[in-house]
C-alpha cells in the first residue's frame, strides 16, 4: 500500500519577498555601446513626447524652489529668476523637466532593483577614506550645481540635447569639458588610488 505525503511550503511574508528583491546577485553592467543606443532612444522619446531634450538640474531647481516658496515666498516674488518659476500663483512644478527628473529617480530605482544593485555604497579608490571621498564629491557637486545654475542648464542638457541637434556650441562645450577633465585628472588621481 502506498501512502501519499504532502509537503507544504511555508508562506512567504511581505518582508521575505521584499528582501528577495533587494538581496539578489548583481547583474553585470550593460555594454557601453548598447547603453549609448538606449540613451539615444530615450533622448528621442523625450524630444518626441515633451518637445524638449533631457536635463537634470532644472527639475531639481524647481523642486527646491517649491520648498523655498513655502518658507520665504517674499524672496521668490522679489527675485526675477525665481519669480519666473514660482512668482505669484505660478506653480514651479508645472514644467516638463520636473517630470523628467521624477522619471530619472523612478527609473534609477527600478533599474537598481531589477539588476540587484539596490544598495548604499561609496565608490572610491582602495586607499581613499570614505570621508575624503564624500567631501570631494560634495565639493565637485557644489561646483557643478553652481555652474549649472549660472549657465541656466546642466551638462546633460547641453551635451545630450544640444549635441543631438548638432549644436556647434554644445559640441565645443563637450570637447572643453572632456579636455578639462583629462587635464585635471592628473592632479586628483590620488583620490582614486
CA–CA separation, 26 and 21 (whole Å):
11
Question: Is residue 70 a contact partner of residue 62, using CB atoms and an 8 Å limit?
Answer: no
* pLDDT score recorded for residue 179: 93
Question: Is residue 77 a contact partner of residue 88, using CB atoms and an 8 Å limit?
Answer: yes
Long-range contacts of 129-135 (CB under 8 A, 24+ apart): 132/191, 133/191
pLDDT in tens, 108-125: 899 888 888 888 888 888
Evaluate the CA torsion angle 155, 160, 165, 168 in order and state its sign.
Answer: positive
* pLDDT score recorded for residue 4: 63
CA distances from 183 to 52, 60, 170, 186 (A): 32, 29, 20, 6
pLDDT in tens, 143-179: 888 888 787 777 778 888 888 888 898 899 889 988 9
pTM over 0.75? The answer is no
Report which of 134, 57, 39, 51 is spatially closest to residue 98, judged by C-alpha positions: 57
In the 8-state DSSP scheme, what is residue 157?
I
Residuewise pLDDT in 10s, the chain (193 residues): 566 666 666 677 877 777 776 677 888 888 999 999 999 999 999 889 888 888 878 888 889 899 998 898 888 888 888 888 887 788 889 888 888 889 889 998 998 888 888 888 888 888 888 998 899 899 988 988 888 878 777 777 888 888 888 889 889 988 998 899 899 888 888 777 7
CA–CA separation, 82 and 45 (whole Å):
29
Burial grade of 61 (CB within 10 A; 0-12, 13-18, 19 or more): buried
Percent of the chain with pLDDT over 90: 17
120: left (phi over 0), alpha (psi -120 to 50) or beta: beta
* pLDDT score recorded for residue 8: 63
* pLDDT score recorded for residue 34: 96
Amino acid at each position: 500500500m502506498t501512502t501519499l505525503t504532502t509537503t507544504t511550503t511555508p508562506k512567504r511574508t511581505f518582508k521575505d519577498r521584499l528582501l528577495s528583491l533587494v538581496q539578489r546577485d548583481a547583474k553585470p553592467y550593460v555594454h557601453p555601446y548598447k547603453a549609448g543606443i538606449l540613451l539615444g532612444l530615450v533622448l528621442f522619446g523625450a524630444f518626441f513626447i515633451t518637445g524638449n531634450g533631457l536635463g537634470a538640474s532644472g527639475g531639481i531647481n524647481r523642486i527646491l524652489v517649491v520648498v523655498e516658496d513655502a518658507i520665504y515666498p517674499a524672496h521668490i516674488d522679489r527675485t526675477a529668476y525665481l519669480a519666473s518659476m514660482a512668482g505669484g500663483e505660478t506653480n514651479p512644478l508645472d514644467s516638463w523637466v520636473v517630470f523628467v527628473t521624477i522619471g530619472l529617480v523612478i527609473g534609477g530605482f527600478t533599474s537598481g532593483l531589477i539588476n540587484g544593485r539596490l544598495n548604499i555604497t561609496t565608490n572610491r579608490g582602495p586607499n581613499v577614506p570614505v570621508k575624503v571621498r564624500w567631501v570631494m564629491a560634495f565639493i565637485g557637486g557644489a561646483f557643478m550645481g553652481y555652474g549649472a545654475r549660472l549657465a541656466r542648464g546642466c551638462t546633460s542638457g547641453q551635451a545630450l540635447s544640444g549635441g543631438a541637434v548638432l549644436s556647434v556650441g554644445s559640441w565645443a562645450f563637450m570637447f572643453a569639458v572632456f579636455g578639462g577633465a583629462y587635464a585635471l585628472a592628473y592632479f586628483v588621481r590620488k583620490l582614486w588610488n
